[in-house]
Chain A
Amino acid sequence: MYTQSARIDPMTAVEIVGLTKTYQGKSAGKSTTTQAVAGLDLRIELGEVFALLGPNGAGKSTTIEILEGYRNRDSGDVKVLGVDPQKGDAAWRARIGIVLQSTKDLTELTVVESLATFAAFYPHPRPIDEVLHLVGLGDYPNQRGSQLSGGLRRRLDVGLGILGRPELLFLDEPTTGFDPEARRHFWAMIQGLRAEGTTILLTTHYLDEAEALADRVGVINHGTLIALDTPSGLGGRGKALAKVSYRNTDGRIVEIETATPTQVVRELSSSNPGELAELKITRPSLEDTYLAMLGPDGE
């Protein structure tokens, strides 16, 4: 059994200390080494919704797959629900739910048949009707996998991920292919799971999704965590100056950076009797902050 190490808190959902992973590969006949994860530290609390952001190739997927028990690490300490994922047994797997990035399987089975097959693997599966309802597949119970659109397939993936009532749910780009309405529905489902106490580790390329769902976001690049904060606090975003802008009577855009935008607007309205053209107050969006963080080359 797992023995508790001094550094690891048993009440933590995910604890990563000094994680490294290097891939040996070959390109153009030469052997190459790629450092996918280079000394990552991260702690995710129970009940938290955590979004891991980062460009493709930053080490996001490798990290997630190490946590899911798919890959072995080179060095570092990793505990997921108190267990080293490399030694995770069936009992541990019953406590986690995994939604992989893209899938093309289960084409011949209907939605209900797939769910029923996987329900047999779990000690306390959710009733299938409940899963259908939660992921919004109530209208398609007897549709075969091959007949589902991309977005509906993704809902099936999520349904299979939450079927076993996981304590920790991994969602790897879960809403790819969703229309805006399906995405809102999905977000509501995640809020529901969170209310039940499920810890969720999410990766996404949609920053509005991270902002809407996550308690905290971590940005990973070149294999290390370069930022870790709440969505509103990331990169000093919460303290960033607001920008008040309007078009003046000469037709020019005037921009005022200020910590007190309300005061600025108040002064503007007393000195300008009419309407201010194109008046706007903006703060840096999560996307602006994120892109600025990664630098000019997007890396």
Chain B
Amino acid sequence: MSDVATSSVSYVAICSARIRAELKSFFRQREAVVFTMLFPLILLVLFGSIFGSQDEIVPGTPFVNYFVAGMLGASLMTSSFQNLAITIAMERDAGLLKRLRGTPMPKSAFFIGKIGVVMVVSLASLALMLTAGVLFFDLNLPVDAKHWAVFAMVFVLGLTACTLCGIAFSSVPKNGQAAPAMVSPIAIVLQFISGVFFVYSDVPSWLQNAAAIFPLKWMCQGLRYAFLPDAAKAREVTGDWELDRVALVLSIWIIVGLVWCLRSFRWRNRADG
């Protein structure tokens, strides 16, 4: 970026100042912390306990393991897509983005700050959810390096795609107040049809097709590979984990998200023209 370097100003110092400000702002907003980090954990414990282990998706693997893998995917989406789509819309309305745009801060530093908060929040959420999964629902951690690598791939690609889409989607609601009402339903619908609350292959095929367009379905599928025994692939639609497809679709969404951001991102709200 051409505006990165200003003679005696350190880009690293600017970015770390932004990240610190973002983290303080996030963790001081109790509603945001509850909604982004605790709510997925509560859902995990609640649904995990209700579904219990009465049903098995394949012999020896209870549904609750399938559900935990899906909730990890949902929590990645919450800490990136929902978090950013809502907070950036509100910050734009409050005038923060316009104020920053009037300073010599390189534009990219704003996004670095957002990526910083998404990284911290998503890692903390994952740690909470994995701990709860292992403690209460006999979740097995990835068995070998390849399973860990796929977990890492889904984390990096999925989080990047959802982060970019969240930044881009923040320009869609008319104003900051409308943002939660627009963003949350999208996330909830996707969770129902993408293999979080129900087994994906049990969902009607037209809904499967709809879900397969979006990243969450592929994130959950990659996470199931990482956390479930290999035999569980019998419950996948194609009978296979399709890891190449997971990587491909998430990569396409990264490109879509990036182009969408570049075309639609606004530093001022609509009333301000």
Contacts and interface: CB of A to CB of B under 8 A. Distances in A.
Task: Please indicate whether A and B come from the same complex rather than being unrelated chains.
Answer: yes
Interface of A: 23, 68-71, 89-91, 93-94, 98, 100, 102-109, 113-114, 116-124, 144, 160, 164
The bracket for how many chain B residues form the interface is 20 to 34
Contact of A117 (B7, B9, B21): B21
Contacts of A118: 103
B24 A94 contact: no
A109 B25 contact: yes
B20 interface: yes
B18 interface: yes
B21 A122 contact: no
Contacts of A89: 2-3
Contact of B102 (A70, A102, A106, A108): A70
B94 A94 contact: no
Given A89-B3, A98-B102, A121-B14, A103 B94 contact: yes
Interface string B136-169: 0000000000000000000000000000000000
A164 B105 CA distance: 12
Q: For A93, A94, A117, which residue has the most chain B Cβ atoms within 10 angstroms?
A: A117
B8 A123 contact: yes
B42 interface: no
Nearest to B26: A108
A164 B104 contact: yes
Contact of B25 (A108, A123, A124): A108
A121 B99 contact: no
A105 B97 CA distance: 9
Contacts of B91: 105
A103 B28 contact: no
Contacts of A90: 3, 6, 9, 104-106
Contacts of A102: 95
Contact of A100 (B2, B25, B93, B95): B95
Contacts of A69: 102
B29 A93 contact: no
A18 B234 CA distance: 73
B13 interface: yes
B24 A108 contact: yes
Given A70-B101, A94-B104, A123-B9, A117 B96 contact: no
Contact of A107 (B20, B94, B268, B273): B94
Given A100-B95, A106-B96, A114-B21, 7 more contacts: A89-B3, A91-B7, A91-B104, A94-B104, A103-B95, A105-B99, A122-B104
B189 to A, nearest CB: 30
B269 to A, nearest CB: 11
Contacts of A109: 21, 24-25
Contact of B99 (A103, A120, A144, A164): A103
Contacts of B10: 120
A69 to B, nearest CB: 8
B58 interface: no
Contacts of B105: 90, 121
